[in-house]
């Protein structure tokens, strides 16, 4: 109890299943690129630097750049933004100080992120926790304003990449730590990198807040709306993303275009994320259709379970990646094909264990600890 009113966590009957489905796909999708960072860190940004030994490696790497890179982090960020607003709204209905409760909750997330970052420097939780106060402050702005602000932030990241490229005249000492297996990053390139990840995350979080406010994220719009959203989003975004890869590939993956070549992919992130969101919503909405196959229903339930345990699954992906790819196979030259095998194996594991856990408990283990600390009281774990 806070302020004399119930402020506990959301009950199962209050869950928005579309958010769970989108969150589940997002956390599974973000592993596709994070796994490259675990196993082939030198080849994360540059396909030619490492991990591309066969045509299949190149195909997987190219598909990752076009379909996954930035996109699932963008979708993950969008869901975090929506989650911040959803939490604040529900806290407002149950407590007197929703802003302070939200800030406390995200301070705890910052602590989780710092602990995670101690193990792996690719953590996004610290970033989300730092963006959260801005999202909380802006959450009541009209959806159109939030979408415009979020889109402008993402576009500014693309512009900053082009600017940063103009500062590079010595690739080894100015861009080496980003694009090449050796060398360092200049202060300008380092500043661009941190600006890029911050504004892209904040921009997508603001867009997520707007989509929650406008009823798009909960699947309440018509199927025709989501079909148009998917067609326009992917029709605009995928060619742009492919253009970014083509620019860099045509240069022979030269450092002379490494940063500027990322700009089309950054611009493509917003429409592709919206397209993916629409496709997932259409897929999730079909669960209500008569005659739906048992296999499809089984998969939807398991993807939603992954989403309900998104924080636990995100952290365990890192643990598995560092143990398996960085530890057990640390001395082996890994390829993008072997990384893909690891990703599929982790997907299967998380689809299994998420449902198995939630059949017995109300929340994922990390989610439960986070809730207990948020409300400063022990929350029931058993159904």
Asked whether residue 14 carries a pLDDT value surpassing 80, the answer given is: no
372 φ/ψ sector (left φ>0, alpha ψ -120 to 50, else beta): alpha
**Exposed, middle or buried: residue 289 (CB in 10 Å: 0-12, 13-18, 19+)?**
exposed
Least confident of 7-11, 104-108, 256-260, 276-280: 7-11
8 Å CB contact between 103 and 10: no
Q: How far apart are CA 106 and CA 108, in angstroms?
A: 5
Q: What does the pLDDT read at residue 58? A: 97
**Exposed, middle or buried: residue 137 (CB in 10 Å: 0-12, 13-18, 19+)?**
exposed
* Assigned token pair, 242: 């492919």
Q: What does the pLDDT read at residue 95? A: 67
Q: What does the pLDDT read at residue 42? A: 87
Q: What does the pLDDT read at residue 213? A: 93
* Assigned token pair, 342: 């690891």
Asked whether residue 6 carries a pLDDT value surpassing 80, the answer given is: no
Helix (H) or strand (E) holding 295: helix 294-308
Mean pLDDT of 102-124: 96
The share of the chain scoring above pLDDT 90, in percent, equals 78
Name which of 111, 141, 147 is nearest 129 in CA terms. Answer: 111
Q: How far apart are CA 204 and CA 198, in angstroms?
A: 10
How confident is residue 344, by pLDDT bands cut at 50, 70 and 90? very high
Contacts of 101 (CB under 8 A, 6+ apart): 2, 7, 91, 95, 374
Q: How far is CA 188 from CA 41, 45, 98, 169, in A?
A: 22, 18, 39, 12
| Termini Cα distance of the chain | 20
Contacts of 107 (CB under 8 A, 6+ apart): 129
pTM of the prediction? 0.92
Q: What does the pLDDT read at residue 15? A: 65
Least confident of 63-77, 81-95, 257-271: 81-95
How confident is residue 5, by pLDDT bands cut at 50, 70 and 90? very low
Q: How far apart are CA 14 and CA 33, in angstroms?
A: 32
Mean pLDDT across the chain, nearest whole number?
91
Which pLDDT tens digit goes with each residue over 167-182? 988 888 888 888 887 7
Mean pLDDT of 251-279: 95
How confident is residue 291, by pLDDT bands cut at 50, 70 and 90? low
8 Å CB contact between 273 and 78: yes
């Amino acid at each position: 109890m806070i302020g004399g009113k119930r402020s506990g966590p959301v009950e199962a009957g209050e869950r928005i299943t579309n958010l769970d489905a989108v969150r589940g796909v997002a956390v599974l999708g973000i592993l596709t690129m994070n796994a490259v960072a675990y196993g082939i860190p030198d080849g994360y940004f540059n396909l030619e630097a490492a991990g591309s030994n066969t045509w299949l490696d190149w195909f997987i790497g190219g598909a990752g750049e076009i379909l996954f890179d930035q996109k699932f982090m963008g979708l993950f960020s969008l869901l975090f933004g929506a989650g911040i607003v959803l939490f604040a709204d529900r806290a407002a209905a149950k407590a007197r100080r929703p802003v302070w409760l939200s800030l406390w909750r995200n301070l705890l997330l910052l602590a989780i992120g710092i602990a995670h970052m101690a193990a792996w420097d690719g953590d996004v939780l610290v970033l989300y926790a730092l963006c959260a106060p801005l999202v909380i402050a802006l959450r009541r702005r009209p959806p159109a304003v939030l979408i415009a602000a979020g889109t402008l932030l993402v576009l500014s990241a693309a512009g900053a990449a082009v600017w940063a490229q103009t500062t590079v005249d010595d690739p080894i000492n100015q861009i080496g730590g980003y694009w090449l297996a050796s060398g360092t990053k200049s202060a300008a390139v380092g500043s661009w990198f941190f600006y890029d990840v911050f504004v892209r995350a904040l921009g997508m979080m603001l867009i997520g807040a707007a989509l929650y406010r406008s009823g798009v994220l909960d699947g309440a719009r018509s199927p025709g709306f989501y079909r148009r959203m998917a067609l326009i989003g992917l029709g605009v975004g995928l060619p742009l993303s492919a253009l970014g890869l083509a620019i860099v590939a045509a240069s022979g993956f030269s450092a002379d275009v490494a940063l500027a070549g990322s700009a089309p992919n950054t611009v493509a992130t917003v429409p592709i994320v919206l397209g993916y969101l629409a496709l997932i919503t259409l897929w999730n909405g079909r669960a209500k259709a008569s005659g739906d196959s048992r296999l499809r229903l089984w998969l939807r339930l398991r993807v939603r379970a992954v989403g309900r345990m998104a924080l636990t699954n995100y952290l365990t992906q890192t643990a598995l990646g560092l143990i398996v790819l960085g530890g057990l196979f640390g001395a082996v030259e890994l390829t993008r094909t072997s990384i893909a095998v690891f990703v599929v194996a982790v997907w299967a594991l998380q689809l299994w264990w998420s449902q198995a856990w939630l059949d017995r408990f109300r929340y994922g283990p990390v989610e439960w600890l986070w809730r207990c600390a948020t409300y400063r009281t022990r929350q029931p774990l058993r159904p």
